[in-house]
Amino acid sequence: MNDLIVSILIILGGGFAAIAGLGLLRLPDVLIRMHASTKAGTLGVGLIVLGVSVHFASSLVITKAIMIIAFLLLTAPVGAHLIGRAAYRRRVPLWDRTLMHDAPMNPDHAKASDAKSERSSEKTITPDS
């Protein structure tokens, strides 16, 4: 029974990891690829680690497995957010059906950023002056 559970967890984890790999190859832009790799990849690795911990069933392995899964759940969303933010700021070309908001959502934020850009342009020193 234990071997059956371990086999199912590892096969499911490998399947999700394969789906994440296919998503990286087949999806059209960086934001959608990032989503596929973080969601399916995290679930795939988590299931594989869970299967290993069930197989060995020692307290040390289970503790390490819990720490690995917690680390994945904490770092994968942060990494994905930073990759998406960098792509947005670098204006990476996106799929033509991807919607992107160029204007800030909050009007007060837009006024503050306009005032900040005006102040920074006034203080710019050019080499010709």
Ranges 1-5, 98-102, 106-110, most confident: 1-5
Residue 26 is assigned to a structural domain of this protein: yes
pTM over 0.75: no
Residue 35 is assigned to a structural domain of this protein: yes
String of DSSP letters for the chain: -HHHHHHHHHHHHHHHHHHHHHHHHHSSSHHHHHHHHHHHHHHHHHHHHHHHHHHH--HHHHHHHHHHHHHHHHHHHHHHHHHHHHHHHTT----TT-----S-S-HHHHHHHHHHHHHHHHT---TT-
Q: Which two tokens stand for residue 19?
A: 């789906």
CB atoms inside a 10 Å sphere around CB 94 = 16
Q: ∠ CA 62-63-65 to the nearest 5 degrees?
A: 60
Residue 110 is assigned to a structural domain of this protein: no
Question: Residue 98 sits in a domain of what CATH number?
Answer: 1.10.287
Domain count, the chain: 1
Residue 118 is assigned to a structural domain of this protein: no
| Residue 39 domain boundaries | 2-103
Residue 113 is assigned to a structural domain of this protein: no
Kindly report, residue by residue over 1-25, the tens digit of the pLDDT. 899 999 999 999 999 999 999 998 9
- Residue 127, φ and ψ in degrees, nearest 5: -65, -20
Taking all residues of the chain, what is their mean pLDDT, rounded to a whole number?
A: 82
Kindly report, residue by residue over 46-74, the tens digit of the pLDDT. 999 999 999 999 999 999 999 999 999 99
Residue 128 is assigned to a structural domain of this protein: no
